[in-house]
Amino acid sequence: MREPDIRAGIENLLLNCGGLSRGDHLLVLRECPSQDYYCAEIADAVVRYAQNLGIQAQLQIAPFDPLGTELPRKMIEDMKAADRTLFLSRSGDQIRFSSDMSDVRPIMSYALDTASLASGFGWAHYQGFVDLKNAVNDLLAQARDIHVTCPLGTDFRGPGAAFSETKTDVSVDRFPMLVFAPVPVAGFSGVVMQQGFLVGTGSRFYEPYGVTLQEPIAVHFENAILKDITGRPEDVAVANAQYRHVSEMFGLDPFTMHSWHAGIHPGCAYEGRASENFQRWSGSAFGNPRLLHFHTCGDYAPGEISLNVLDPTIMVDGVAVWSSGRLDPAKVPSGAEIIDNYPCIRAVFETPRQEVGQSADGQLCGS
């Protein structure tokens, strides 16, 4: 890592995303380092660079509740008193769909260590990716037909994305901007081929958070209802047991398919196998265009079990906007202009990261 690269990533976070300036008050809420989710150095680095910019940075430990109960009242008061709040904690991810945060708009960091801040993932301009996300949202909302496939046999389709009128998908600002708004699955039908494992969504961290599949299973759905799971009998039994276990734990309908979206940030990467740390993988790898994921097991985003598709092709009215896991911004209206306006974003698209948690054979594996 080069010091100028770390500085560029943190300035992108604090200035371009956070909108902070000299004299502002930043509250940084970090997990206890013993949780071993965020690297121990990242919070100190953010505070140090914030202070160098003349920003008053305050650091607190955010108690992490795996099942995601409400934040402590005192913490919410501190958040409201600050100009911006930055979560270096999974707690920020757990509240991303909470309407209670709409007037606070904390920032949730998906950069888990200083190395990612110092890479194109960290320093590629935040606003440019917001512009790209909005352009993709508009494209999908205006589409007549969306058809998704993958090399393993995923094949589903539906009409244009029926986003809510506000198109506001979360109540936090995400850094970096990783995905377009979740596409409601109502009106879509088909099959999702799930390889390697079933894993949680970052909403609640239950046990077991991930279960291993020896061979791919086919998840058949129709108009937001999970109809059937087929495949190797032992794997089907594992999947059905996990859906039953999680739905009973939280009082959910296990047969709900709520929404789906894919990554838009080719600077996003996950080195090592997903199975080595399902929690860390599910909370950081999904922003790469090589991954598309579904929110299932619950009639809300993000649900409690995600389905993950490697190397999707997303056809929008017959045009492959994603082709085998590669997003072509030129096929998004105004996408080419966005790339021209931000050479730093062009750089990450020209050299996209390929590491998204695969095993040695290039596939997602549960062991």
pLDDT, averaged per 10 consecutive residues of the chain (367 residues), comes to 91 98 97 90 96 96 84 90 95 78 86 96 98 97 97 97 72 93 95 98 94 97 96 98 98 96 98 94 96 96 95 98 98 97 97 96 90
Nearest-angstrom CA–CA distance, 140 and 181: 10
Q: Which of 25, 22, 15 is nearest to 58 (CA)?
A: 25
Q: Confirm if 280 and 37 have CB atoms less than 8 A apart.
A: yes
Nearest-angstrom CA–CA distance, 77 and 29: 13
Phi-psi domain of 225 (left: phi exceeds 0; alpha: psi -120 through 50; beta: other): beta
Compute how many other C-beta atoms are within 10 angstroms of the C-beta atom of residue 326. 16
Compute how many other C-beta atoms are within 10 angstroms of the C-beta atom of residue 241. 12
Number of residues that make up the chain: 367
The pairing of strands 56-61 and 25-30 is parallel
Token code pair at residue 93: 């991810």
pLDDT at site 168: 57
Nearest-angstrom CA–CA distance, 11 and 5: 10
- Under DSSP, the state recorded for 330 is G
Domain with CATH 3.40.50.2300 in the chain: 3-123
Amino acid in position 207: E
Q: Which of 178, 212, 213, 199 is nearest to 297 (CA)?
A: 199
Q: How far is CA 218 from the centre of its chain?
A: 23
Query: In whole angstroms, how far apart are CA 362 and each of 168, 220, 254, 267, 290?
Result: 35, 25, 30, 18, 12
Nearest-angstrom CA–CA distance, 26 and 29: 10
pLDDT at site 105: 83
Q: Tell me if the bond preceding 208 is cis, omega within 30° of 0.
A: yes
Strand order in the sheet with 25-30: 56-61, 25-30, 84-88, 107-109, 173-175
In the numeric block, the tokens 């934040």 are attached to 71
Q: Confirm if 303 and 97 have CB atoms less than 8 A apart.
A: no
What CATH number should be reported for the domain whose range is 3-123?
3.40.50.2300
| SS3 state at 151 | coil
Q: Which residues pair with 270 in a beta bridge?
A: 356
pLDDT at site 26: 98
Token code pair at residue 266: 């080719």
Nearest-angstrom CA–CA distance, 151 and 129: 27
The pairing of strands 197-199 and 210-212 is antiparallel
